[in-house]
Structure 1
Amino acid sequence: MANGVGKHKLLVIGPTEAWSLREKLCLATSVMKSGDQNWVSVSRAIKPFAEPGRPPDWFSQKHCASKYSELLENTEAPK
Structure 2
Amino acid sequence: MFCPRCAEHKLLVIGPAEPWSVREKLCLATSVMKSGDQNWVSVSRAIRPFAEPGRPPDWFSQKHCASKYSELLETTEAPK
Superposition TM-score, scaled by structure 2 size: 0.82
Runs of 4+ residues deviating >3 angstroms: 6-11
Unaligned runs of 5+ in 1: 1-5
Distance of 1:67 and 1:14 partners within structure 2: 8
Identity of aligned residues (%): 91
Higher helix proportion, which one? 2
Indicate conservation of the 8 Å contact 1:46/1:59, yes or no. yes
Post-superposition CA distance 1:42-71 (Å, at most 9, x none)? 000000000000000000000000000000
Higher relative contact order (CA 8 A, sep 6+): 1
8 Å contact kept, 1:11–1:66: yes
Gaps of 5+ in 2: 1-6
Q: CA deviation at 1:14?
A: 3.1
Query: TM-score scaled by structure 1?
Result: 0.83
Query: Alpha carbons of 1:23 and 1:10: their partners in 2 closer, same or farther (altered >3 Å)?
Result: same
After superposition, the Cα gap between the structure-2 partners of 1:44 and 1:10, relative to the gap in structure 1 and judged at 3 Å, is same
